[in-house]
Amino acid sequence: MAQPAVEVRGASKTFGHTDAVTDLSMTVRPGRITGFLGPNGSGKSTTLRMILGLVTPTAGECLIEGVPARALREPATVVGAVLDSQRLHPRRTARAHLLVHAAAAGVPDSRADEVLAEVGLSSVARTRIGTFSLGMRGRLALATALLGRPRILVLDEPANGLDPQGIAWLRSYLTGFARSGGTVLISSHILGEVAQIVDDVVIVSGGSAVYRGTVEELRRAQHRRLLVAAADPAGLARALAADGVSDVRSLRDGRIGVVGAAEDRLREIANAAGIAVFGVVAEEVDLEQLFLAMTAPHYVAGATALAPGGYGPPTPPYSGPPPPAGPYPPQYPQQTRYPHQQQYPQPGQYPPQQQYPPHPPQPTNPGGPR
Ligand SMILES: Nc1ncnc2c1ncn2[C@@H]1O[C@H](COP(=O)(O)OP(=O)(O)OP(=O)(O)O)[C@@H](O)[C@H]1O
C-alpha cells in the first residue's frame, strides 16, 4: 500500500483537565479527499494542529508522509493548511498578504499572482482584506495554503460561514485538486457539507474515532435497518432473537425495525415460525441522521462501529409490549423507546436536502499539486 499522506497513531492531547483527543488513530490516503467529521468540541482542530506540528501530542504521534511535520525539509511544498481563514490582517491588501507568506515559504513573488488567479481573486488583488466577504477571505486563506504548491491540503472547517455558492466553489476546487493527484484532509461538523466530495470519512466524538471507512461504506450502512410489518411482531422478534438477531425494536406504527438480518433470512425465520410478513422496507436513513446518531454523547464506539459498514453499538433486544389481538395493523398502546431510537426519523420526516446552484466554472490550476 502507498505510504499514507497523513497518519495519526494513537494520538492524545490533554489541556489541563480537558482530554481534547484520546488515543486517536487515522490514515489519510494520498490522492483522496478525507472528511474529518465531528460535532463542535470533539477534538478536530486539536488533531489537525497536532498533524501540522502546532500542538505537541501528550501521547502518540502524527506523521506527514512518514515524518513529523516539524521534520519536513520543505514543509510548504508538502502541506498547505487553512486553520482560521478569518484571522487575516484587515488593512493589508490580498496581494501584500500573500507576498508576506510567499517570502516566509521561500517561494517567488510571482506565486502570489498565480494563486490569486487560481482562487479567482485576481480582480481584488490590491483591495484591502477588511472589505472582503467571508467567502473571499476563505479563498484568500486557501490561496495562502497553495503558495508552495503543496501535495496535501489540511483545511479546518473551511465551509464555515460560506454561502451555498461559496461551498459549491470550494467543493469544485477541492475535487479538481484531488483529481490532479492532491490529497485533502477537510474537517467539518456537518457531514452534508462535505459528503458529496469526500472519498473517506473519519468521524470523531468526544476526542475518539467512532467511524473510519469510505463514504460508500457509510452510505451502505444506512440501509441496514429493515422495517417489517408482520402479523405477530412480538413473535417475530422472539423468533429473530432465537436466531441471533437481537437488534429488534418496536415502532410507533406497529412495525418492527430489524438490524442485522437480510430480507431473505428474515422471511425464512418468519416462515419457519409460521408468522405472516406483510411488508419489508429497507430504511433510508439520511446520512446526517446516521452522523448525529454516531456522535451523540451516549454513543460508544465498539468493534462494529469502527469496522467498515458498522452500524453502531449493540442495542437492547426487543421487549415491547405484546400487540393487541385484532386485525392488522396492530397498534401498540405506547412506543417502546430506546436511547437512540429517536435518532431515526420516520419516513417522510426527513428535512429537505439543501439544494445548491450549479457549480461555477472550475478555476484553472496552473501550479496544481505535484
Ligand atoms: N488551547 C486549548 N486550551 C484548553 N482547552 C482547549 C484548547 N484547545 C482546545 N481545547 C478543548 O479541547 C476540546 C476539543 O477542542 P477542539 O477545538 O479540538 O474541537 P473541535 O472539534 O475542533 O471543535 P470546534 O469545531 O468547536 O472548534 C474542547 O473541549 C476545547 O475546549
Taking 80 as the threshold, does the pLDDT of residue 110 lie above it? yes
60 and 207 in a common domain = yes
What share of the chain has pLDDT > 90, as a percent? 54
Residue type, position 119, single letter: V
84 and 125 in a common domain = yes
> What pLDDT, on the 0 to 100 scale, is given for residue 277?
95
Q: How many angstroms does the Cα of residue 46 sit away from the middle of ligand 1?
A: 6
Taking 60 as the threshold, does the pLDDT of residue 307 lie above it? no
Local confidence band at 346 (pLDDT 50, 70, 90 cut-offs):
very low
Would you say 267 and 258 are in contact if contact means Cβ atoms under 8 Å apart?
A: no
Mean pLDDT of 81-102: 88
Q: In what order do the strands lie in the sheet with 183-188?
A: 79-82, 152-156, 183-188, 33-37, 200-205, 208-214
185 and 36 in a common domain = yes
Taking 90 as the threshold, does the pLDDT of residue 276 lie above it? yes
202 and 242 in a common domain = no
272 and 196 in a common domain = no
For residue 347, tell me if it sits in a domain.
no
For residue 308, tell me if it sits in a domain.
yes
Q: How many angstroms does the Cα of residue 38 sit away from the middle of ligand 1?
A: 12
Taking 80 as the threshold, does the pLDDT of residue 311 lie above it? no
For residue 348, tell me if it sits in a domain.
no
Local confidence band at 309 (pLDDT 50, 70, 90 cut-offs):
very low
pTM over 0.90: no
The best mutation among 26, 36, 46, 154 to test binding of ligand 1, ranked by most ligand atoms within 8 Å of the C-beta, falls on: 46
Selected residue with higher pLDDT from 315 and 237: 237
Residue whose grid cell is 398502546: 333
With a 6 Å cutoff on the Cβ, whether 42 touches ligand 1 is yes
Taking 90 as the threshold, does the pLDDT of residue 67 lie above it? yes
> What pLDDT, on the 0 to 100 scale, is given for residue 283?
76
> What pLDDT, on the 0 to 100 scale, is given for residue 222?
62
Local confidence band at 338 (pLDDT 50, 70, 90 cut-offs):
very low
234 and 189 in a common domain = no
The complex's ipTM works out to: 0.95
CATH code, domain carrying 59: 3.40.50.300
Identify the CA nearest to 37 among candidates 194, 217, 246: 194
What share of the chain has pLDDT > 70, as a percent? 77
For residue 189, tell me if it sits in a domain.
yes
196 and 260 in a common domain = no
The best mutation among 12, 17, 18 to test binding of ligand 1, ranked by most ligand atoms within 8 Å of the C-beta, falls on: 18
Rounded CA separation 162/357 (Å): 14
Selected residue with higher pLDDT from 63 and 339: 63
For residue 363, tell me if it sits in a domain.
no
Mean per-residue pLDDT over the chain, rounded = 80
Taking 80 as the threshold, does the pLDDT of residue 131 lie above it? yes
Domain count of the fold of the chain: 2
> What pLDDT, on the 0 to 100 scale, is given for residue 38?
92
Domain that holds residue 233: 224-283+300-339
265 and 160 in a common domain = no
For residue 139, tell me if it sits in a domain.
yes
For residue 288, tell me if it sits in a domain.
no
What are the tens digits of pLDDT across the range 190-225? Answer: 888 888 899 999 999 888 898 898 888 887 766 568
With a 6 Å cutoff on the Cβ, whether 15 touches ligand 1 is yes
44 and 169 in a common domain = yes
Residue 350's region, left for phi above 0, alpha for psi from -120 to 50, else beta, is beta
Q: Which range has the top average pLDDT, 83-87, 118-122, 134-138, 244-248? A: 118-122
121 and 240 in a common domain = no
With a 6 Å cutoff on the Cβ, whether 41 touches ligand 1 is yes
Looking at ligand 1, which atom is closest to the CA of residue 189?
A: 25
Local confidence band at 16 (pLDDT 50, 70, 90 cut-offs):
very high
81 and 191 in a common domain = yes
Last residue of a domain, one of 176, 204, 219: 219
Q: How many angstroms does the Cα of residue 303 sit away from the middle of ligand 1?
A: 26
Taking 90 as the threshold, does the pLDDT of residue 368 lie above it? no
What are the tens digits of pLDDT across the range 145-159? Answer: 999 999 999 999 988
For residue 1, tell me if it sits in a domain.
no
What are the cell numbers at 51?
Answer: 498533524
Compute, in degrees rounded to 10, the torsion defined by CA atoms 317, 318, 319, 324: -170
Nearest residue (CA) to ligand 1, atom 31: 41
Q: What's the angle, vertex CA 190, arms to CA 185 and CA 195, rounded to 5?
A: 60
104 and 187 in a common domain = yes
Taking 80 as the threshold, does the pLDDT of residue 122 lie above it? yes
Nearest residue (CA) to ligand 1, atom 5: 15
Q: How many angstroms does the Cα of residue 18 sit away from the middle of ligand 1?
A: 9
Rg (CA), the chain: 25
